[in-house]
Amino acid sequence: MLPSIDLIKLMWLQSFTILPLILFLFFLYKWLHTQSTPKKILPPSPTRMPVIGNLHQLGTHPHRGLQSLSDQYGELMLIHLGSAPTLIVSSAKAAHEIMKTHDIAFSNRPITKTGNKLLYNGKDVAGAQYGEYWRQMKSICVLQLLSNTRVRSFRSVREEEIALMVEKIEESSSSVVNLSEMFITLTNKVICRVAFGRTYSGNEGGVNFKELLKEFLKLLGNFRVGDFVPWLAWINWLDGSDAEVDKVAKEFDHFLEQVVKEHEDGRGKSRKGGEGEKDESVKNLVDVLLDVQKEMTAGFTIERDSIKAIIVDIFSAGTDTTSTVLEWAMAELLRHPTVMNELQKEVRRITGEKLYVNEDDLEQMKYLKAVIKETLRLHPPIPLLVPRQSREETKINGYDIPAGIGVIINAWAIHTDPASWDEPEKFNPERFLNSPTDFRGQDFKLIPFGAGRRICPGITFAIANNELVLANLMHKFDWMLPGGANSDSLDMSECIGLTKHRKIPLLAVPTPVIGGS
């Protein structure tokens, strides 16, 4: 039965009566909701472009590009890397807030497709998400792999490989040597012996490990569109970079699988032959990890991929970064002959008639330590550190920092901040001679290894290598630029990837010191 005309009119009138009430209740709700959730106060941001965000403003040297932006927008700045909002931290004070005051809130790592493929889906230590797995793996690294005792146990490896490098330089005395290449070779050999108990050179088992590691590190530091703009990830498939990442990840995994299996088989033969386990003081890191795997109790186990992922961390953090620091240290010494002369006098005075500097001598070398600190200040090997990600919403300096955003700490900008350093662009080791400032995570104006829970656990290992190499080069040789070039002419251009390398390899001419060899 259809409604009557009178009923329709009544319904029409009622709707006009109720509508204002509905609108009133709607706007009352919106007003109350707005009052209860005040507008977020985000850090200042530069204007961004569609799709790419602020990527175009980073330039060819992102640490410098971000510093320029921070000069305009402040020590805490929010930018967009493609579609990813990212907090940029550019002062020691702000870094203290992120890495100490609110350390737990910023202890995650951003997840990228490239990182997952190369680092076993975050099963390593550097890239793992904050949580129980990360805590267990970090504990293994700190207590079992990179403790002071373990680092000291590899003393003979460092000293032997440095002696071999020095002998090679002596063979080409008064000729030009490529120090950049020598440092890469040295650090690769040291890490191989420490991790695997042997070096890998040439094509062994169908793999050229040195070239494979070089390709791995290049891909880990490469810019890939899909990691910043997910809906453009098809470009990585189209340009072949997806296939390249897959290929290198597969080859590296195959190599590491062979290494682990060799060590398992060796342990089995040792037990069968009645020789027992290796002496704890000379165990390489794969052996240590296999021991830990065997000894783990119920509740937490180390998978095979976890062992391989930790080894990847050790190589990626221990080869490229160490050789880079040595490269920049020698470059600065060649540019500053008076500093080099002062360092040589200290090293030769303490070492005396010894053939080589050994690790017992290093503790007395205060100027050497100052040179290393100043190199790390001006040339942090990873100038933007390893990115973090916020785990929860946090308030810093009056700004609301959302959960789930990336965090980049510009260590280079902090290390060259006039608010913290006199003449920040000048290479001046003397600034550290009477200063308690150190790089172990307590002084936030000097953070080449990071700070807080995610600080690099390999500081002791890295510094032991850097100091010993540099001391021996100063003890054994006098150095000059090829062709007697003026020190001011040395090209100090940077090349950015995972680490901040010299753009041009460092070439120098050594002259053996009479009586020093």
Q: Report domain extents, the chain.
A: 55-512
Which tokens go with 455?
């600080």
Which tokens go with 470?
């540099």
Helix 155-171 vs helix 179-196: crossing angle, to nearest 10? 150
Closest CA to 109 of 124, 127, 97: 127
107 — phi, psi (to 5°)? -100, 5
Alpha carbons 194 and 283: distance in angstroms, whole number: 8
Phi-psi region of 228 (alpha: psi -120 to 50; beta: other; left: phi over 0): alpha
Closest CA to 58 of 49, 67, 50: 67
Closest CA to 226 of 109, 112, 55: 112
How many CB atoms are located within 10 Å of the residue 324 CB? 24
Q: Give buried/exposed letters for 342-380 (b at 16+ CB in 10 A, else e).
A: bbbebbbebbeeeebbbbebbeebebbbbbbbbbbbbbb
CATH 1.10.150.130 fits 55-512, yes or no: no
89 — phi, psi (to 5°)? -110, 125
Model confidence, pTM:
0.88
Reading the chain (517 residues) residue by residue, the pLDDT tens digits are 445 555 445 554 555 556 565 656 666 666 665 555 568 899 999 999 998 999 999 988 999 999 999 999 999 999 999 989 999 999 999 999 999 999 999 999 998 888 889 999 999 999 999 999 999 999 999 988 899 999 999 999 999 999 999 999 998 877 999 999 999 999 999 999 999 998 876 666 556 777 888 888 888 877 777 787 887 888 888 888 889 999 999 999 999 999 999 998 876 555 544 444 555 556 899 999 999 888 876 667 888 999 999 999 998 888 889 999 999 999 999 999 999 999 999 999 999 989 999 999 999 999 999 999 999 999 999 999 999 999 999 999 999 999 999 999 999 999 999 999 999 999 999 999 999 999 999 999 999 999 999 999 999 999 999 999 999 999 999 999 998 888 888 999 998 777 888 999 999 999 998 655 4
Inter-residue contact 431 to 367 (CB < 8 Å): no
Which tokens go with 128?
């793992």
Which one-letter amino acid corresponds to residue 15?
S
